[in-house]
Amino acid sequence: MNDTFLKVCRGEKVSYTPIWIMRQAGRYLPEYQEIRKRVDFLTLCKDPDLASEVTIQPVEILGVDAAILFSDILIPLEPMGIDLEFSEKIGPIINNPVRDKASFDNLLSYNPDDELDFVKKTIKNLKSNLKVPLIGFSGAPFTLATYLIEGGTSKNFINTKKLMYGDRVLFEEIMAKLTIMIHDYLLMQIKAGVDAIQIFDTWLGIVCPEYILKYILKYVNKLIDNIKSNSNVPIIYFPFNCSYILKQISGVSADVIGIDWRIYIDNASELMNNQKTIQGNLDPCVLFATRDIIKQNVEMVLNRGVACKGHIFNLGHGILPETPVDNVKYFVDIVHKLSQKGD
């Protein structure tokens, strides 16, 4: 197996900079669109053969150094009694959001081995076919809480913040319940064979530092520390849009921190005392530009990556559906070429 990605996660030296791309399986690939013409998104996530096929697509088409399980962060909410659908136009919709004690009390606890058996099957399937490491993943407690409370995506997250400021007891009960669910779900993925995990905290950056520190990061810490006491797979934490609080985030015991494009990665690394491998951080929109501009920006990120304890190349957020595939192929090749160390 090509273990360059895993070595960098652990802070070991390697001969080139590994790359994978957030949302690397998805709508920008014609091969993905072909499959989506036949099945809806939830069906795709729940079918181990199809989910494996779309997981492998970017590895074969692009030559990335890691695969990420094809699923969605909202899948593990369904067995809690959440009525989830994906609308082509709006995105995810939760028809029974949780905004009061009564609906919180209705949430179910479950065993992911039984209820999310299809995820286990997909992982086992993939492990016998992949030549690169497989990344499992989950949403972080706060990011999942926003979907649970808002009932979908949101602009101002008013319902989430109403609870956070107005009924902190219930807000923390929700965070605590999600933390346990996510822990059990990630351990199931690890037992099934994933080689690393990424925890997506996509919406952390909507919160002020005081509340992040007091009421949110403690659940991330609990989650990661509990996983670490049961397994030694590398953990990537991705707090999107959070450059303003990286110093405090450095206390989280993840091995790798994902960084978006709003900060130079060497500055981000320094804020975290150069103790962690950094993942990132090209603006996904650079991939719409010419090859020259893509190359210039890749060079800039690679040069700054040298100062980090370790560097995994990625975009600063998910690849956009309209991205030209040829540019993505060029991007992966140029990262490999420019970072190759001569003997």
Active site residue 147: yes
- Which of 28, 32, 147, 185 does the annotation list as catalytic? 147
Q: Which of 17, 18, 26, 316 binds ligand 1CP (CB under 6 A)?
A: 26
Nearer to ligand 1CP by C-beta: 81 or 91? 91
Determine if residue 269 is left, alpha or beta; phi over 0 gives left, psi from -120 to 50 gives alpha, anything else beta: alpha
Check binding of 70 to ligand 1CP (CB under 6 A).
yes
Check binding of 25 to ligand 1CP (CB under 6 A).
yes
Q: How many CA atoms lie within 13 A of 177 on its CB side?
A: 21
- Binding part of the chain for ligand 1CP, among 68-76, 104-112, 241-249, 327-335 by CB under 6 A, reads 68-76
- Virtual CA dihedral for 200, 206, 210, 216, nearest 10 degrees? -30
Nearer to ligand 1CP by C-beta: 20 or 266? 20
Site string for ligand 1CP, 290-329 (x = CB under 6 A): ----------------------------x-----------
In sequence order, what are the beta bridge partners of 258? 279
* DSSP code at position 73: T
* Cα–Cα distance measured from residue 3 to residue 174, given in angstroms and rounded to the nearest whole number: 37
Q: Which of 6, 50, 64, 73 binds ligand 1CP (CB under 6 A)?
A: 73
- Which of 3, 10, 16, 23 does the annotation list as catalytic? 23
DSSP 204-272: GGGS-HHHIIIIIHHHHHHHHHHHHTT----EEEEETT-GGGHHHHTTS--SEEE--TTS-HHHHHHHT
Contact 68, 49 (CB under 8 A): no
Which residues, including other chains, have CB under 8 Å from residue 33's CB and lie 6 or more apart? 27
Check binding of 153 to ligand 1CP (CB under 6 A).
yes
Active site residue 113: no
Check binding of 31 to ligand 1CP (CB under 6 A).
no
Active site residue 99: no
| Tokens matching residue 241 | 């849009």
To ligand 1CP, the closest distance from the beta carbon of 41 in angstroms equals 4
Contact 192, 239 (CB under 8 A): no
Nearer to ligand 1CP by C-beta: 311 or 317? 317
* Cα–Cα distance measured from residue 227 to residue 326, given in angstroms and rounded to the nearest whole number: 38
Check binding of 19 to ligand 1CP (CB under 6 A).
no
- Binding part of the chain for ligand 1CP, among 66-74, 98-106, 161-169, 255-263 by CB under 6 A, reads 66-74
Measured in Å, how far apart are the chain's first and last C-alpha atoms?
Answer: 22
Site string for ligand 1CP, 197-226 (x = CB under 6 A): ---x-x------------------------
Site string for ligand 1CP, 86-125 (x = CB under 6 A): x----xx---------------------------------
In sequence order, what are the beta bridge partners of 312? 279
- Which of 36, 113, 262, 330 does the annotation list as catalytic? 36
| Phi, psi angle pair for 313, to nearest 5° | -75, 140
To ligand 1CP, the closest distance from the beta carbon of 126 in angstroms equals 12
**Which one, of 80, 214, 209, lies nearest residue 139 by Cα?**
80
Q: Which of 6, 9, 19, 22 binds ligand 1CP (CB under 6 A)?
A: 22
Active site residues: 23, 27, 36, 72, 147
Binding residues for ligand 1CP, rule: CB under 6 A, are: 22-27, 36, 41, 68, 70, 72-74, 86, 91-92, 137, 153, 200, 202, 240, 318
